[in-house]
């Protein structure tokens, strides 16, 4: 375990900034096993069933990072697949394109190409020919208007959307202590903050997506997708906890008086194998009426 006293603020995250669209490859690699274990296999099966007759599949992965969602989902889908990977970060796109599996569930080929740029401006015309839109840990970084626009584009294009791992604002520590709920409330407020005139949805994102599709008459399936972290995830617990505490302190500065000792107690329990953490997320699958056109865009 890292000694918090050697860090600049005692609790600063090293690999991540909660609520920031900028993610380091090391942070994404650290969280990938927990992400894969958390995502709903039931929703993946529903996607596979919906897309089973379409050839080839064209999947747009929004905010793909290093491609962890593609690595998880592509082997669960049958038939030839063409993945279009969207991200602002050129380095992450290179990693995502190189790391995507090359074969589908039935041995069909899987290809990938990268598109760098702002993914919040996708519209129905750009989704023409797309079989599925995917995203992971993205919705909570968007605004209500941006989620609404995404729902509008997917609905108009008749394109399903699998939107995974949106934080839901619920965290459980076992054993618990009184400061848990205090830091949790500060963190949630931080996730809902306004940045450059954009009010982020944070833990309201899953409900906002469900509502946006419902207003358009689109049915959704929603499943819980919690991280369940024990001693085997000690490094992830530490990095997540540091970022969680730092965000809470940024939002509510009076918490800095308690942060170092709180982190020390939690990391000591983690090192002893006594700490369990559940970080709740939701996965949302929207299933618009199918568009009559499909194929390679």
Give the residue extent of every domain in the chain.
4-286
Residues 6+ apart with CB under 8 A from 94: 114
Distance of alpha carbon 170 from its chain centroid, rounded?
Answer: 15
**Alpha-carbon span 67 to 35, nearest angstrom:** 12
Q: Strand, coil or helix: what is 282?
A: strand
Instruction: Read off the pLDDT of each residue in 154-179 and give the average, rounded to a whole number.
Output: 97
Q: Please tell me what DSSP assigns to residue 107.
A: S
What tens digit of pLDDT does each residue of 183-221 get? 999 999 999 999 999 999 999 999 999 999 999 999 999
Instruction: Read off the pLDDT of each residue in 37-53 and give the average, rounded to a whole number.
Output: 93
pLDDT of 212 reads 98
pLDDT greater than 70 at residue 88: yes
pLDDT greater than 80 at residue 16: no
**Alpha-carbon span 21 to 191, nearest angstrom:** 12
Distance of alpha carbon 127 from its chain centroid, rounded?
Answer: 21
Band of residue 2 on the pLDDT scale cut at 50, 70, 90? very low
Ranges 21-30, 131-140, 184-193, 247-256: which has the least confidence: 21-30
Is pLDDT larger for residue 122 or for residue 206? 206
Instruction: Read off the pLDDT of each residue in 102-109 and give the average, rounded to a whole number.
Output: 94
**Alpha-carbon span 190 to 115, nearest angstrom:** 30
Matching CATH number, 4-286, of 3.20.20.140, 3.40.50.150, 3.20.20.100, 3.30.70.20: 3.40.50.150
Residues 6+ apart with CB under 8 A from 120: 142, 146, 149, 150
Q: Crossing angle of helices 25-38/90-99, nearest 10°?
A: 50
Nearest to 98 by CA among 116, 80, 110, 81: 110
pLDDT of 21 reads 66
**Alpha-carbon span 152 to 146, nearest angstrom:** 10
**Alpha-carbon span 44 to 49, nearest angstrom:** 9
Do residues 69 and 61 touch, judged by C-beta distance below 8 A? yes
Kindly report the CA angle at 255 between 204 and 9, in degrees rounded to 5?
A: 105
In percent, the amount of the chain with pLDDT more than 70 equals 92
pLDDT greater than 70 at residue 168: yes
Long-range contacts, 95-99 (Cβ 8 Å, 24+): 95/25, 95/66, 95/67, 96/61, 96/64, 96/65, 96/66, 96/67, 96/70, 97/67, 99/66, 99/67, 99/70, 99/71
Band of residue 10 on the pLDDT scale cut at 50, 70, 90? confident
pLDDT greater than 70 at residue 22: no
Band of residue 7 on the pLDDT scale cut at 50, 70, 90? very low
pLDDT of 275 reads 98
Band of residue 30 on the pLDDT scale cut at 50, 70, 90? very high
């Amino acid at each position: 375990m890292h000694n918090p006293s050697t860090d600049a603020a005692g609790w600063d995250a090293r690999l991540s900034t909660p609520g920031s669209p900028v993610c380091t490859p090391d942070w994404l690699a650290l969280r990938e096993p927990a992400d894969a274990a958390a995502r709903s296999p039931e929703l993946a099966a529903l996607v596979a069933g919906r897309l089973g007759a379409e050839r080839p599949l064209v999947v747009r992965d929004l905010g793909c990072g290093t491609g962890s969602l593609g690595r998880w989902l592509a082997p669960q889908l049958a038939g030839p697949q063409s993945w279009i990977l969207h991200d602002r970060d050129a380095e992450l796109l290179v990693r995502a394109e190189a790391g995507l599996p090359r074969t589908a569930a039935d041995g069909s080929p899987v290809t990938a190409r990268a598109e760098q740029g702002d993914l919040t401006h996708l519209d129905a015309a750009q989704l023409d020919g797309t079989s599925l839109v995917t995203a992971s840990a993205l919705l909570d970084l968007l605004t209500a208007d941006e989620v609404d626009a995404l729902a509008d584009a997917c609905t108009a294009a008749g394109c399903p959307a699998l939107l995974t791992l949106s934080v839901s604002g619920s965290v459980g520590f076992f054993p618990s202590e009184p400061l848990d709920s205090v830091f949790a409330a500060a963190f949630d407020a931080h996730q809902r903050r306004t940045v450059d005139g954009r009010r982020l949805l944070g833990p309201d994102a899953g409900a906002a997506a469900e509502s946006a599709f419902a207003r358009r008459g689109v049915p959704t399936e929603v499943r819980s997708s919690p991280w369940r972290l024990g001693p085997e995830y000690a490094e992830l617990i530490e990095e997540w906890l540091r970022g969680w505490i730092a965000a809470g302190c940024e939002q509510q500065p009076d918490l800095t008086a308690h942060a170092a000792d709180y982190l020390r107690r939690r990391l000591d329990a983690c090192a002893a194998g006594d700490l369990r953490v559940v970080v709740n997320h939701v996965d949302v699958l929207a299933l618009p009426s199918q568009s009559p056109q499909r194929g390679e865009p």
